[in-house]
Structure 1
Amino acid sequence: MGVKLGILGLGTVGTGTVQLLQDAVGRHPLLEEIEIYRVGVRSPDKPRAVELPQSVITTDLAAIVNDPAVDIVVEVMGGLEPARSLILQAIKNGKHVVTANKAAISRFGAEIFNAANEAGVYVMLEAAVGGGIPVIQPLKQALSVNRINTVIGIVNGTTNYILTQMQTEGSDFGDVLADAQRLGYAEADPTADVDGLDAADKIAILASLGFGGRINLPDVYCEGIRQVSKTDITYAEKLGFVIKLLAIAQYQNNDHSQLSVRVHPTFVPKSHPLASVNGVYNAILVEGEPIGQVMFFGPGAGAGATASAVTSDILSLAAALKSNTAAPNPLLTCRHEDYCQVTPISELVTRFYARFLTKDHPGVIGKLGTCFGNHGVSLESVVQTGFQGTLAEIVVVTHDVQEGNFRQALEEIRSLEAIDSIPSILRVL
């Protein structure tokens, strides 16, 4: 029995998926039994990189999810609507779903997985995080016996490319962003990438799988890379760090009661495994007990990489349908229904880097030290690095401190007459 696919969308990922399915020779033999039965598009006359019979292509996406002959609906159109409604309708009709849509899953995952569990179907989402890197299935299956403590990753290729170029070329953010847009690594509207929103969607999904509870997306602290300057990248280098936009989900304490889920630019020690992940590559580091550290590395975007993840999900479902074991397997479904309690960012305990511009007054470093001491902030290093015009530049790195205490110290420091401005505050891994 052939497995019939209804594909929603024929953009970059949809085209890559069709190309992979049409070129099945030398791949898994079951791929040859998968039929591209219907493909939904917005513009049927648009020139495309794949050839499909006219009878397969339709602009009626609802007809695909309602067609009794379709076994698996593959949603690769992106966006929130109509993607969400079509996924829910497919589930209602008893169809399995494969999606690459991290935005829809991170926002409407509870609704989608409740519906799937009720209907007894799978929703597979390997392509939603990390492009072609297999990380969703390992978290659900191979690593599920571990007590996960940390999931931390570089999960956005655009920001990683920008930060890598700033580091290697000594360029400003705006110049590198313009280059990235010209090369196609950044969208015309780069907001979702450079403001960390895309990474927040992805860490919400990974945290949900790693920590066995749903994540409320507004609980994910999110800060992008617009404020990272080439000056900070230079200081990071001098201090033995690189700056990366990290998506982090981790327990802050031994009794696993404080879960922190956040996205922000971070000083990463050069010795850390994520420090050498450059360009458009992604990597996700999972730490658990008893396994220790496992890292998944690879291309985080692109037609081929994402199509690989989409097609692997299609193959898993086709195997289940063929062997008549399509009844949901708890290792493949997302059955947890409780929400994780996410600790507010003010309670985060971490190290900080801060850069101050000060008037050239005697004793200014002593005053900084006093203000920090008043709020229990211990300093690892204080360096006066030189001058910008008439202003002295002072860089500090703290020991571990609660974020709320650090912010209170900064408020006091801002009121000092000697302080002109605080251009940069970054967390340190």
Structure 2
Amino acid sequence: MIENRQYRLKISEIPPNKSLLDISKQVLEGEIIRWYISQITSEFVTIEATLYSEPLAKIHESVETQYYPGKSVVINIVPTGIGCSIGGYAGDATPTTNLLASTVDYLITNPNTVNASNFINLKNNVVYAEGHSIDLFCQGIVNFYLPYANTVGLVIEKSEDWKIDILFNIVNAVRAIYGVNILEPVITDEPIYSRCIQNEVGAFVGTVDNPEVLFKASQELIAKGANAIAITTNVQDLPSEIYAKHFRGECPNPVGGVEAIISHLIMKKFNIPAAHAPLLNIKDLDLKHNIVDARGAGEMASQSGLACVLVGLQKAPQIKVQPNIRIADLININNVLAVVIPATCLGGVPVLEIQKYCIPVIAVRENHTILDISQSKIQLNNIIEVNSYTEAAGMILALKNGIHVESLSRPFMTLCP
């Protein structure tokens, strides 16, 4: 069973020598699929978490003492389900992602940043990584093993024949155009029932009624040689008015929350890359205009959300070496120059975990979210606030070239005896 739970901590009861990360880990219990700090007031810290009732895979090793010099890496995160104005729609953070990728050897990002249904445009050095694997990477628990190519397995939720036909045409198009190795898809015997949920702070999360159906189909594909899993389901309980507002450009996509839960769940169960797509994009909505907001147009122009996921998983990183896959390169937490993230959502695992490595976090003000976990609230080390992703790209170049940030702005302090 999957449960979404809220934890509220009294600030007065938090010891002054304890970090929010340490306190959060003490409070969270059971198998955590996903968690983040959603609110900080003068009295309370609020944590949103999604839990699973059964044991999942554990990874206890550490790779933080390992070094693979010569490669520069930036992690660019656009969190899912919290209303990001850039990247909260349909792949609309792709230009900023590719800009940042041009400054380093590798740019790690989550699927939400670049997925746009039938459209996806990744520079060759963009590492398409599921959110839980990014959490593990930022904790220094795993390396990212970059494959020449993955063998992708596809789980399709039981649906009407005409919907299945659409999906198989997409699968065959991706095979023919992008050269992705996709196994014969598994269609589940029963519905998976993935559901969209909005929590108290207004963020979108989700749940899955029949995760065992999802696990069984994934296991069947893994047994046939899959080392990456794509999932496509009919997302239930989508609020039609909010979805219509999304296409009018008034709010980001509400589907992202449940998609993150599904991909996290598969990654935590099998320790291989995973990503989710809606089976069919909903278009029977009360829209004022047939031409939708440009940021969501990729979704409106596509029948399904599936193609981008299949392409993205082709070279998604593995978190462990497997006998049936060849590795092209390897990156590690010690290669990371910086983490880039919207300035109001600094309460997620990557930002909190990265603090112990003294890696700068570049907080971008122009990417607005519904949260207010900013530097003024959370008071973390190594936060560099910038106005835009263009400025963030310049900051990365400064870090990469060893140029101290203070020397780039004025007034410039003169040292005196």
Same fold (TM over 0.5): no
After TM superposition, the score normalised by the length of structure 2 is 0.27
After TM superposition, the score normalised by the length of structure 1 is 0.26
Question: Larger C-alpha radius of gyration, 1 or 2?
Answer: 1
Of Structure 1 and Structure 2, the greater helix share is in: 1
